[in-house]
Amino acid sequence: MEGQQTSGLAIASMVCGILSLVFFWVPVFGFLLGIIAVIFGAVTLRQIGRDPNLGGRGMAIAGLVCGIVGVAGWVILIAWIGIFFWAA
């Protein structure tokens, strides 16, 4: 649509979500990026729902999904490491 401005938070959500997928194996860093991506994505989706002139819904959803997957990957990795050391 013409006149739509892409939300900066949508872009930030997508970038943080992608980085959380790349760096999920780095202690705390990937987890924090994933949490930030989820928060920014949720806030952006709410803002887009209220303001029809605001764009970036797809990027917000991508950031939200990537952030959730990144956090889940981090949790699984930490659980796997914990089980490995507990069993040793």
- pLDDT per residue as tens digits for the range 14-62: 999 999 999 988 888 999 999 999 999 999 999 999 998 999 999 999 9
Own/partner long-range contacts of 75-81 (Cβ < 8 Å, ≥24 apart): 77/24, 77/25
Asked whether the CA dihedral 74, 76, 80, 86 is positive or negative, the reply is positive
Which stretches does DSSP call E strand in 1-88?
Answer: 5-6, 54-55
Which stretches does DSSP call E strand in 1-61?
Answer: 5-6, 54-55
Question: What is this structure's pTM?
Answer: 0.88
**pLDDT, position 2:** 64
The rounded distance, in Å, linking the Cα atoms of 72 and 47 is 26
**pLDDT, position 1:** 52
Domain residue ranges in the chain: 5-87
